[in-house]
Amino acid sequence: MKTVGILGGGQLARMMALSAAPLGLRFLVLDTAADACAGQFAPMVVGDYTDEAALAEFASKIDVATFDFENVPAESAQWLATRVPVFPSPRALAVAQDRLAEKTLFRELGIPVPDFADIDSRAALDAAVVKLGTPCILKTRRLGYDGKGQFRIKSPADVDAAWDALGAQAGTVGLILEGFVVFQRELSVVAVRGQDGEFRAWPLTENWHVDGVLSASLAPARVDDAMNAVAMSHARKLAEALDYVGVFALELFCRDGVLLANELAPRVHNSGHWTIEGSETSQFQNHLRAVLGLPLGDTRMLGVACMLNWIGAMPDAAAVLGEASGHWHDYGKQPRAGRKVGHATLRADTAHELAEALMRVGAALDRHAQVAPVIARLRD
């Protein structure tokens, strides 16, 4: 029986462990927090990702390593790779950890990106704001997630506040300025690549964010075949360029019919949670198959699916569980403002049925704002 080591013990590790138990796998999670939610289902090593003793203990007990957390220091991933196979590779991880390296690679591959500039000083920021224009977004190059480490510059008057908020990080994690994209839609490709190079993608997903945090996802995204093909081709090109192994997500903005790449998540992704019940093989199961060199499962889906994220605290489960294809996921985390604590997936055979189910759930949970854009899209 093989043991998969997972760096990071959040909900992604937890869902990996839950989905792959039937494959006869064991897991070992490394996390800095003893109460990490994956620890409810898998043994843990508690320690810092840079702590050699913790890493050595972790490495000695596993057959292969992967990630739930993309911000594990690249040097730690490299150190681990000298002892056990690590997927995705430390190189792919390093590119995805740095918004500047990632956008530079997208551009080299001919994948359009929003305008961006490397910011290493206040003078560079002033010059870039003039060049890119406002609105724009200042982001840390590394370590951001769920919209953290970002400052929206609506007009030149906001530059001082942006520098106050993030300037100190210019010399540490680095900064990047991006043009603000007035997009009509956000989309993501969730895809998997095997050790033999086999590539499979789930149907394109449309996503809605609130304050930089994912709120809802709908699959399949209602886009035409040509746009779908472009999105898939970008994802495939990227996976091949990085010799990527495992599941990843490519986040895209759709502006006036053009797809601009936002970022690459080198791991299973929140916009792929619907695949647990909505597709033949979930992203979690396929990620582990890829990491272990097993044949990949089919990524086709049945009907349509919508995932709703629960942020801060769990709502009451009854309304979702009362739906014919309503599925509930409670990550077993302590409630905290802004924290992802669970999600629900609703599946249906038709767009009309899914919209009706979302109406009922939105009303029962008093979450009209969360379900409204999805219902509007389903009724387009």
Interacting residues toward ligand ATP by CB under 6 A: 114, 137, 144-148, 178, 180-181, 186, 209, 212, 251, 262-263, 265
Q: How far is the CB of 209 from ligand ATP (least distance, A)?
A: 4
Region of 172-180, 261-269, 302-310, 364-372 interacting with Mg ion (CB under 5 A): 261-269
Q: What does each C-alpha distance from 287 to 15, 67, 163 come to in angstroms?
A: 11, 10, 39
Q: How far is the CB of 263 from Mg ion (least distance, A)?
A: 5
178 binds, among Mg ion, ligand ATP, none (CB under 5 to 8 A by kind): ligand ATP
Neighbours of 359 (CB within 10 A): 14
* Calculated CA dihedral for residues 2, 333, 283, 379, nearest 10 degrees: 170
Q: How far is the CB of 262 from Mg ion (least distance, A)?
A: 6
Of 137 and 314, CB closest to Mg ion: 137
The Cα 201–Cα 188 span in angstroms is 11
180 binds, among Mg ion, ligand ATP, none (CB under 5 to 8 A by kind): ligand ATP
Interaction with Mg ion in 178-237: which residues (CB under 5 A)?
none
The Cα 97–Cα 118 span in angstroms is 15
Q: How far is the CB of 340 from ligand ATP (least distance, A)?
A: 9
Annotated ligand binding at 186? The verdict is yes
Of 188 and 281, CB closest to Mg ion: 188
Q: Residue 2 corresponds to which tokens in the numbers above?
A: 């093989």
The answer to whether the peptide bond before residue 114 is cis (omega within 30 degrees of 0) is no
Q: Residue 187 corresponds to which tokens in the numbers above?
A: 């989309």
Q: Residue 299 corresponds to which tokens in the numbers above?
A: 């990524």
Which residues have CB under 8 Å from 101's CB, separation 6+? 94, 95
Question: Which residues does the annotation place in the binding site?
Answer: 99, 139, 144-150, 178-181, 186, 209, 262-263
Question: Which residues does the annotation place in the binding site for ATP?
Answer: 99, 139, 144-150, 178-181, 186, 209, 262-263
